[in-house]
Amino acid sequence: MIFIDILLFFMQGIPELTGVVALSLSLASVSLRWGRVIAAGTVLSVIIYLIRSMHFTFGLHSIVGICLLVIFIAMTTHVLTSRILIAVFVSFATLAIMELVIYETYFSVTGMDYQIAQSNHLLWQLIGLPQAILMNILAVLVARYKKPNQEAWRM
């Protein structure tokens, strides 16, 4: 059962955080190099999973994720730190708003109780999967309309 829970977490977590990384880079006018984006999203997902499984204060995983993403972008690009902070905060805020809208829409349409859905791990992750997909689509759209600086990467 524990293995299934971990697998379900990463089924949603990796695409979701890949979308956050991609949107942050797009907003900072950095070209999307998907190998790096997916690697960063995967590492963030693992770190956030470990923090959430240790039962620290609720929300600590988000703060750590924001800080680590700012550090990652600052170390790997030539973007000003102020622009990075804004891009990362906007990306996480976008994720939070999408999550709220998708969950509220699901529960109002189905009439399902929140506690019942949360106790079914597969259903809970599947409800959150659209936001992961939408984050990646939004990142690609932003990158398409906001011309990225091809020389923004340090490596």
- Per the CB < 8 A criterion, the answer to whether 126 and 5 are in contact is no
Residue 20 is given by DSSP the state: H
d(CA 134, CA 19): 8
- Tens of pLDDT along 69-103? 999 999 999 999 999 999 999 999 999 999 999 99
pLDDT of 131 over the 80 cut: yes
What is the pLDDT at residue 36? Answer: 96
Domain boundaries, the chain: 2-145
Q: Could you tell me the pLDDT band of residue 10, with boundaries at 50, 70 and 90?
A: confident
d(CA 148, CA 143): 6
Beta bridge partners of 77: 153
Residue 155 is given by DSSP the state: -
- Of the candidates 69, 77, 67, 12, the one whose C-alpha atom is nearest the C-alpha of residue 40 is 69
Average pLDDT over residues 111-128: 87
Alpha helices in 55-120 (DSSP H): 60-76, 81-110, 114-119
Q: Could you tell me the pLDDT band of residue 56, with boundaries at 50, 70 and 90?
A: confident
Task: List phi, psi (to 5°) of 37.
Answer: -65, -45
What is the pLDDT at residue 118? Answer: 86
Residue 132: both structure tokens together = 């992961």
